[in-house]
Amino acid sequence: MKKTMTVLILFILSGIILFGCGRPQPPKAPDEVKLQLKWLHQAQFAGFYMAQEKGYYAKENIKITFLEGGQDVDIAGSVVSRKADFGVVTPEYILINRSRGLPLIAIAAIYRRSAVAFAARANSGIVRPADFKGKTVAAAGKGGSMEFDLQLRAMMKKLKIDILKLNIIPYDPEYASFYSGKTDVTAAYYTGGIIKIRKKGMKINLIWPEDYGINFYSDTLATTEKMISDNPDLVERFMRASMQGWQDAIEDYRQAVVVSLKYVHDKEDSDTQTAMMEAMLPLVHTGEDRIGWMKPEIWHEMYGTLLDQGLLEKPFDVDQAYTMRFIKEISGGKVK
């Protein structure tokens, strides 16, 4: 009798255990992530929109919120203050903040070539940096246009051209003095201002700092050291979804424009968004390495330029300003 009771009890207990094990577990709540964009919604951020629309963030159990940038938004500050978890930050500001002791760190370079170019009228005879001498150049400024002045000065120094021979005036995003002929050369983003100037019907010569040995990244994905130390798994999942979104945006840029138009304020701005997407393709997908890949030599060059221009508060180890950890993890450590 005792043996029978024992067997019966064991049978009941095993049933309870099996029933409990088979009970479905409630799904884990998604991680809420805020991404601070560098500017207002536009095709410049198409890869992130694609990752959202195609469900890549959801697949990684991430609920994404996009925070718009703007002229008065401190993009780097938004990340450092933890208002946002990640940000699309210009690399100059990553380096400047690092020199101030703030723990900002780059995890991927979205624009692996800078979008900064200098424009002159096609009939002006200005086709190279040496032709800037004696001319009025719109490039000075702070905030988002700081990189114009920075790359102009770096280019002139590298070519041993006296910067004092140029009449440098503040950059005007509306290009009024350039249109009127009062300004000979203007800085502009190839993905923005150059499109605007060409829409006016102006024929222009483009002078690229990169052609003269000035190599800068542009839009860079950044977070904080604390985010990396506290939530490395979240960083990896966010990166995997984001980079897949960018890969899809490059492979089907017309679809990326359609997706971007869901976010932009001017829904009729299809032509401009398409032109922006076409302009940024070779800046994001350079034909080498992977999308988002970074090179130490580029970071060292950018650091050296900022240090030379006196824009860093104090020297620091530039290799602490970026990490290849996550881009390598999501690609299996392979470059291609």
- Beta-carbon contacts of residue 269 (< 8 Å; ≥ 6 apart): 261
Q: In the prediction, which pLDDT does 269 show?
A: 80
Residue among 88, 66, 122 nearest 219 (CA):
88
Closest CA to 253 of 212, 284, 219: 284
What pLDDT does residue 332 have? 76
Domains of the chain: 31-113+217-330 (3.40.190.10), 116-212 (3.40.190.10)
* Angle ∠(317,320,321) on CA atoms, nearest 5: 105
pLDDT at res. 146: 83
- The whole-number pLDDT of residue 143 equals 54
Cβ contacts of residue 231 below 8 Å, gap of 6+?
31
What is residue 23's predicted lDDT score, i.e. its pLDDT?
57
Beta strands in the chain (DSSP E): 31-36, 62-67, 86-89, 104-109, 116-121, 136-140, 167-170, 185-189, 204-207, 220-224
The per-residue pLDDT for 200 is: 92
- What are the strands, taking DSSP E only, across 175-238? 185-189, 204-207, 220-224
pLDDT, averaged per 10 consecutive residues of the chain (336 residues), comes to 44 43 69 95 96 97 95 89 95 94 96 96 96 96 77 94 95 94 96 94 96 94 97 97 97 95 84 93 89 95 92 94 95 60
Residues 126, 205 contacting (CB under 8 angstroms): yes
Q: What is the Cα–Cα distance from 81 to 200, expressed in whole angstroms?
A: 41
pLDDT given at position 5: 46
In this prediction, residue 46 carries a pLDDT of 97
Say what the pLDDT of residue 130 is: 97
Element (H, E) at 259: helix 253-260
What is the 3 state secondary structure string of 283-300?
HHCCCCCCCECCCHHHHH
